[in-house]
């Protein structure tokens, strides 16, 4: 399971950092991961592969971007607790570009392959940016034009990152509804969380006359 966070420096995506991550069991208070190194993705994003992740355990997570960042942008905090859209984003500090920590669950099939493909595109684009910056150092006379090209590529990287996060959010919401436990009782459709006990959503079931019904249902209304 990948944990992804973003760091900024005075509102600008911070690259070249060496962030560390700490993960604690929220119930037992046991330290699961202690000062582990995170890997840079690009454009201020960093990731950590939490291989010991257990979906039935509640975790609290802290990422430290290092002393080179301002105090109000150095740390980001998160949890694996899911909210109404199946993805929780929490942050101790928000400045300019939102600095936050997100958690998502492993998925499979074409959707997983698509996400991996998009991430590869992000890495490739970041490599192109680095190459362009090296060329700019030797071509000061064309600095203005080259800087404009860099900005355009960085905007594309941002668009790809936003698209990736949107896809993850939608997939997790769909999986919760499609693979979770359903129950119809008392003229209501109840959809449960992964544990099969916690209620995720409730809908009132109606017939063609708009009355509560258990049969000949033509409409559902969120409760």
pLDDT of res. 105: 39
Q: What is the mean pLDDT of the chain?
A: 81
C-alpha distances in angstroms, 39 versus 44, 65, 107, 140, 213? 11, 12, 21, 32, 54
The pLDDT tens digits of the residues spanning 135-160 come to: 877 776 666 776 778 888 888 998 89
Taking Cα atoms as reference points, which of 201, 194, 118 lies closest to residue 158?
118
The pLDDT tens digits of the residues spanning 158-213 come to: 889 899 988 988 888 787 777 778 899 999 999 988 788 888 889 999 999 999 99
Model confidence at 129, pLDDT cuts 50, 70, 90, reads confident
pLDDT of res. 32: 95
Q: Average of pLDDT values for 123-141?
A: 79
Residue 116 CA to residue 120 CA, distance in Å, equals 6
- Name the DSSP class of 194: T
Q: How long a stretch of residues is the chain?
A: 223
The answer to whether residue 47 scores a pLDDT higher than 80 is: yes
Per the model's pLDDT, the better-predicted residue between 42 and 126 turns out to be 42
Residue found by looking up tokens 């992000």 in the block: 122
Query: Which of 14-28, 36-50, 155-169 has the weakest average pLDDT?
Result: 155-169
What residues pair up with 167 in beta bridges, in sequence order? none
Please report, rounded to a whole number, the percentage of residues in the chain having pLDDT higher than 90. 42
Residue 220 CA to residue 189 CA, distance in Å, equals 8
Residue 169 CA to residue 87 CA, distance in Å, equals 6
Q: Which of 34-38, 81-85, 132-136 has the highest mean pLDDT?
A: 34-38
Would you say the pTM of this structure is higher than 0.75? Answer: no
Residue 21 CA to residue 43 CA, distance in Å, equals 19
Per the model's pLDDT, the better-predicted residue between 104 and 165 turns out to be 165
The answer to whether residue 63 scores a pLDDT higher than 90 is: yes
Model confidence at 123, pLDDT cuts 50, 70, 90, reads confident
Residue 20 CA to residue 90 CA, distance in Å, equals 18
The answer to whether residue 109 scores a pLDDT higher than 60 is: no
Model confidence at 79, pLDDT cuts 50, 70, 90, reads confident
pLDDT of res. 97: 32
Per the model's pLDDT, the better-predicted residue between 92 and 40 turns out to be 40
Residue extents of the structural domains in the chain: 1-106, 107-179, 181-222
Q: Are 63 and 5 in contact, with CB atoms under 8 Å apart?
A: yes
Q: Are 98 and 91 in contact, with CB atoms under 8 Å apart?
A: yes
Phi-psi category of 170—alpha, beta or left, where left has phi over 0 and alpha has psi -120 to 50? alpha
């Amino acid at each position: 399971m990948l944990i992804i966070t973003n760091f900024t420096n005075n509102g600008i995506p911070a690259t070249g950092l060496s962030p560390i991550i700490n993960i604690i069991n929220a119930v037992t208070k046991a330290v699961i991961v202690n000062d582990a190194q995170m890997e840079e993705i690009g454009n201020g994003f960093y990731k950590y592969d939490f291989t010991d992740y257990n979906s039935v355990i509640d975790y609290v997570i802290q990422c430290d971007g290092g002393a080179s960042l301002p105090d109000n942008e150095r740390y980001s905090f998160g949890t694996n607790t899911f909210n109404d859209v199946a993805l929780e984003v929490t942050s101790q500090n928000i400045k300019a570009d939102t600095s936050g920590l997100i958690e998502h669950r492993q998925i499979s099939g074409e959707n997983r392959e698509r996400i991996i493909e998009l991430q590869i595109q992000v890495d490739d684009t970041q490599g192109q940016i680095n190459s362009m910056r090296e060329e700019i150092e030797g071509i000061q006379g064309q600095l203005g034009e080259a800087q404009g090209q860099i900005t355009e590529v960085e905007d594309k990287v941002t668009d790809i990152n936003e698209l990736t996060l949107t896809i993850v959010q939608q997939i997790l919401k769909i999986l919760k509804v499609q693979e979770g436990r359903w129950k119809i009782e008392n003229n209501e459709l109840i959809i449960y969380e992964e544990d099969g006990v916690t209620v995720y959503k409730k809908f009132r079931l109606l017939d063609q006359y708009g009355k509560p019904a258990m049969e000949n249902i033509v409409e559902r209304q969120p409760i």
